[in-house]
A and B are shown apart, each in its own frame.
Chain A
Amino acid sequence: MSDLQLQVRRDRRRWNQALAMSLAGTGCGIGLLIGGCAVVLGRVYGYQWDAPALLLGVGVGLIWAIRKFAQRQVNDEQIATLLDLRAGGAGLLLFELERLKNPSTADIARLSSHRMEVQTQPRPDIRRILRTLLPGLLFFAATLFLPVRVPAAVSNDPISQRRIEELQQLAEALDETLVLDEQLREEIQQNLEALTSESNPDQPEGEALREALDQLESRMESVAAEEAQQLEDQLRQSADAARDAAAEDPMQRENALDMLGELAEKMKEDGALPEMPLNAEFLEQLAKNGLSEEFLEQLKKLAESGMLDQLGELARGMKLDPELAKKLAEMLSGQLSQAALEKLAELAKQGLLKNMQRMEGMEAGTHSMSELAEMLALEMGQSAMSVPGKGSGTTAQAGTGAGITRGPGSVPLTWGDETPDLRDQMKWTSMAAPDSPEEAMEIIRMTSTAPTVDAKAEGVGAADVVTSTPGETVWKRRMNPDHRQAVKRFFKPKD
């Protein structure tokens, strides 16, 4: 081993010793701070942990120092480079060190002439170590003078316990009288449990617990008040709607019925009204009111197939009184097939049956059963003719042959034995159109800013609008803030 290699190893050892001392000093300083904190904690809780805290702190500090040392210890290459740089950075020392790893030539002595007398003198930075060690030492010493605290006797909190019990009773009462939201119920339950755990007799009573109890109480009271107010509102609205339902004006009566329906739905959703399924008990009750067994069977079928609503819709559309509607339903259930019923419901949806009222001599609730059946059959026949997709085309005056006709005309294009049209199997859905143009012209929103233009959506003419974006916008949107600063610096007027 050459002198240079020996020197490098020796210097590396000295550098690492100095580093280890420095890190150990710093680590002990940090550890003493931690140990001091442990002593303080112990004394607060009535323990005297001086020696274990000292050991813990110093141990943690030394572990930290060892980990740091493993990461940062100095190696031979660093020392060799440092020596070479001290010698002028000519690379000769590095060359010699690397060449000596492969001593294939005999002129090592020649290279020693290049060697320069350079050395290093590493030592720990005492000031740097003291900056950490001294505060740690002083802090630890100061903590030793702290008195050990004796824990105070714990007292029970009977007032809080009693109030919690009251609140629990209130919550149960609320749950029984009002239909509480599930989330709200859970929230109240959790709060009560938390408060119960906080009111542990082992813990001293505190203002925080009292405040929490007050808050929970006020919250439950407000919930109860809100629910009561809501129920009261619904009842008042129901009463108003029921009063309006007896009015003579048909429009007012219809609106009142709609409102009653909505309120009933809402109350049902809120749980204020019980569900009323079409069960056996209900059907029996209906039978007692004079409905035949067959009618009830048909009613049951209709309910199962979801047609009951449609039948009710039909009855309302025809302005039938309930007695008449009941008889009509009975007659229809006995005479019409399921397909015919569906067709009837379809026509009712399209609003075609409303036209019956405009027919001469027809007044709602004044016609006989046979007349009604005839009218219905006639209307069904005419409506079937005018249903789109049945070859009616678009005529200005159907049946007269006058006006401009498009398509195949009003004559049905079926000759018999054709495959049923698939469209017949579809369910028609009529989209409600606005009754008045004013409704369509309703202003949705007004803004104070200019409208944004989508070039693609607006077509060619929008290009001018897009390109006329103000320069300020482009400046902010397209330029990196750093680049903006550079341009500003360049164009800044010189003083």
Chain B
Amino acid sequence: MDQQYSYLNDSEVQSCQQLGQRLMDGLNAVILGQEDLVRSVVTASLAGGHVLLEGLPGLGKTELVKGLARLLSLQFQRVQFTPDLLPGDITGGHVLQETATGKDFVFRPGPVFCNLLLADEINRASPKTQSALLEAMAEARVTVLGETRDLPRPFFVLATQNPIEMEGTYPLPEAQLDRFMFKVDVGPVSVAVLEAIVGSRRHGRPPQPEAVADGAEFEKFSNLAGRVHIPKAVLSYIARLCEATHPAAEAAPKMVREYVRYGASPRAAISIAESARVDALIDGKPTVGFDNVNRVVSPALIHRIVMDYRARLDGVGAGMVVADLLTNVKPLKDPLPEEVIDG
């Protein structure tokens, strides 16, 4: 470890924990009964990653994103993706405008120039339009007609997609999926939660949350997250988890060998490490533990594992593969000798 490495002190850890807690409390007030979903979205957002929300219509995906933007006081834009949406509709373009020196082409920024972009039903747009988001998501800048413009900081994309009504949709290519830090499945809520929603919300409108942080606090949190320590054993665990997703790897479990076609990329390991740092801060710890890694592995890996067609035939999903990975890949790199009984 570098001698100059500066560990977080208590007050820094505490302030980060409080910010995370305030965000989660605010979002839990907007979306009832989705605590895990809220934590994943908050974790990815604070880590500066993009999130892909997948779920049936009416589960509150859009409200969740709108609530997050309001809580963070960030500039929020929403783009409803349709098959006829063009790249220029997202990035913006040059328009002829009357200026002081006469008529001239002036760049008019598109909706991507914001802090938080909600790409609603992203899989309904054509691949050309989807790819217009690639540069913005990867490098936080946009190039139009050879001119490159930086996007405001922070910038992250929360996209939603509908797993049904697949006719006329364009599934996101693997390269674009890899740019999302998390993919979170939005599941149905329980009866008790439904009762609470119906009983407390007129027309289902959620309460409008007050801002709990601003852009500066968000930036500060991001900087502090970079100083969260990751022990060597935990780093090894993350690396071994990602390696085990490849069917050709020696440590790959049986389910991976049978059902996975391509494993996770190194970007997956980076995403796990970054999101685990934020998760540890939300827990109020200056260091990442195995529990943080286990919590973020599933949303970070399920969209990065390309399943074989046999998995589809046998009804095996990426979530089941990740669960199997967590069972088979042990935190201990070298197992302790079996000849010795402990306890």
Report which A residues bind B (CB closer than 8 A).
Answer: 15, 18-19, 22-23, 26, 72, 74-75, 77-78, 80-82, 84-85, 88-92, 94-95, 98-99, 101-102, 104-105, 107, 110, 120-125, 128-129, 482-483, 486-487, 489-490
Contacts and interface: CB of A to CB of B under 8 A. Distances in A.
Contacts of A99: 7, 229
Given A489-B313, A490-B313, A77 B340 contact: no
Contacts of A482: 258, 310
A122 B342 CA distance: 4
Interface stretch (B102-110, B189-197, B198-206, B231-239): B231-239
7 contacts: A81-B333, A88-B289, A95-B231, A98-B229, A124-B340, A487-B313, A490-B313
Interface string B290-329: 1110100000000000000110011000000000000000
Which of B7, B280, B288, B341 has the largest count of A CB atoms less than 10 A from its CB? B341
Contacts of A490: 313-314
Contact of A102 (B5, B288, B292, B336): B5
A74 B336 CA distance: 7
Given A92-B285, A92-B289, A121 B336 contact: no
Contacts of A19: 337, 339-340
A300 B309 CA distance: 84
B334 interface: yes
Given A89-B331, A91-B280, A128 B339 contact: yes
Closest 6 CB pairs of A and B: A91-B289, A95-B287, A94-B231, A89-B290, A22-B339, A486-B310
Nearest to B4: A104
Contacts of B334: 75, 78
A90 B276 CA distance: 11
A95 B286 contact: yes
A94 B287 contact: yes
Contacts of A94: 231-234, 287, 289
B1 interface: yes
Nearest to A99: B7
A393 to B, nearest CB: 71
Contacts of B332: 78, 81-82, 85
A107 to B, nearest CB: 7
B174 interface: no
B209 to A, nearest CB: 30
Given A19-B339, A84-B290, A483-B310, A107 B9 contact: yes
B226 to A, nearest CB: 16
B1 to A, nearest CB: 6
Contacts of B286: 95
A92 B291 CA distance: 11
B237 to A, nearest CB: 9
Chain B CB count within 10 A is highest, among A84, A91, A483, A490, for A91
B337 A102 contact: no
A22 B231 CA distance: 32
A98 B289 contact: no
B146 interface: no
Contacts of A89: 289-291, 294, 331
Given A84-B289, A95-B231, 17 more contacts: A85-B331, A88-B289, A90-B285, A90-B291, A91-B292, A94-B289, A95-B286, A101-B1, A102-B5, A120-B342, A121-B342, A122-B341, A123-B340, A125-B339, A125-B340, A487-B313, A489-B313
